[in-house]
Amino acid sequence: MKIKNIMSENVVSIDKNLNICDCLRMMYKDNLSRIPVTSTNENNKKVLVGIISEKDIADKLGSAKYGNMAPSHFHVSTVMVKDLITVDEDDDVTDVAKVLIDKNIGAIPVLSDGEMVGIVTKSDFIYLCKAKAYEKISVKDIMTTDIISISADDRLIHARKVIMDSKIGRLLLTEDNELAGIITSKDIAKAFVSFRKHTPDKYQASQIKELIAGDYMSTNVETISQDATIPQLADAMIETGYNGYPVVDYDDQIIGIVTQSDLLKLIYEIETQ
């Protein structure tokens, strides 16, 4: 199967000269985690120049390097990844899956004759998991048991650092050794934008250290059973739009986490057998 058969053709893109607030608004509106970045050339044509993700925004806005710079001064071009990875519309889905896995990225622009004609994300692969070949595989077979978590009382800048260092998109938060919530890169980016908007410049360097992760987490965390089949997991992800679930055992204890990355690795393994 070619990647053009599963890619999204209606690509939402953003101009490199817009600011981070504009970008986040687009992400919230269209429920996107990343957006291709374009520039208008001398022929008044949009040209692909980069890609920006919620994780990139959280990284830059929480960095001491950028001090107390206001969000409105952060242009997309400052934050975007310029070293683009792209694929051709006629590339095989397994080859593209391998690129996503090897590069640990969530999306790739799809080109035809050098022009962007679509974008493919990890979520576009999920429908493949509804096939019969996946019915005998359960969540416990592919979940990650090495759970990365922090306390809900930890600082937001610590949550940001753990997410960046661990190269993950979400982080479990605990209170008294119990799951209290979950925080994502988008939650962190949104929190930093709000902080920089409402905190006077001279206080930002000191007060950013007082932001607490638990104040920005989602508390209604949905879990999935270790015995759920892969098609059931795929259905849950498609229905909710969530790209990861904590996994529980028979006593409702968290024993792992399963993400779109885990599914993508399984897809590659099965489709290349």
For 223, the 3-state DSSP assignment is coil
| Strand extents, DSSP E, 134-237 | 149-151, 170-175, 178-184, 224-225
Report the candidate in 168, 187, 158, 171 with the shortest Cα–Cα distance to residue 246: 171
Neighbours of 30 (CB within 10 A): 10
Query: CA distances (Å), 155 to each of 121, 173, 253, in order?
Result: 31, 11, 25
pLDDT tens track, the chain, 273 positions = 999 999 999 899 999 999 888 898 899 888 888 999 999 887 888 899 999 998 898 888 887 666 566 777 788 998 999 999 999 999 999 999 999 999 999 999 999 998 999 999 999 999 999 889 999 999 999 999 999 999 999 999 999 999 999 988 889 999 887 899 999 998 998 898 888 888 887 888 788 889 999 999 999 889 999 999 999 999 999 999 888 999 999 988 899 999 999 999 999 999 998
Helix (H, G, I), strand (E, B) or coil at 219: coil
Joined tokens for residue 131: 């096939």
The pLDDT of residue 204 is 80
pLDDT score at 42 = 79
Query: What tokens does 187 get?
Result: 């939650």
The pLDDT score that the predictor gives to residue 69 is 67
Torsion sign (Cα): 204, 161, 144, 256: negative
Token pair for residue 222? 């949905």
Q: Which pair of structure tokens corresponds to residue 163?
A: 């997410």
Neighbours of 226 (CB within 10 A): 17
Give the pLDDT of residue 17. 94
Supply angle C-alpha 179, 181, 183, rounded to 5. Answer: 135
| pLDDT for 67 | 59
- Give the separation between CA 245 and CA 24, rounded to whole angstroms: 24
Q: How far apart are CA 106 and CA 184, in angstroms?
A: 14
Which domains are seen in the chain, by residue range? 3-125 (3.10.580.10), 133-271 (3.10.580.10)
φ, ψ for residue 156, nearest 5 deg: -65, -35
* Of 260, 254, 61, 263, nearest in space to 148 by CA: 254
Closest CA to 41 of 126, 104, 115, 108: 115
What pLDDT shows up at residue 139?
A: 97
- The pLDDT assigned to 68 comes to 60
199 close to 175: Cβ distance less than 8 angstroms = no
Indicate the Cα dihedral angle 196, 200, 202, 203, nearest 10°. Answer: -70
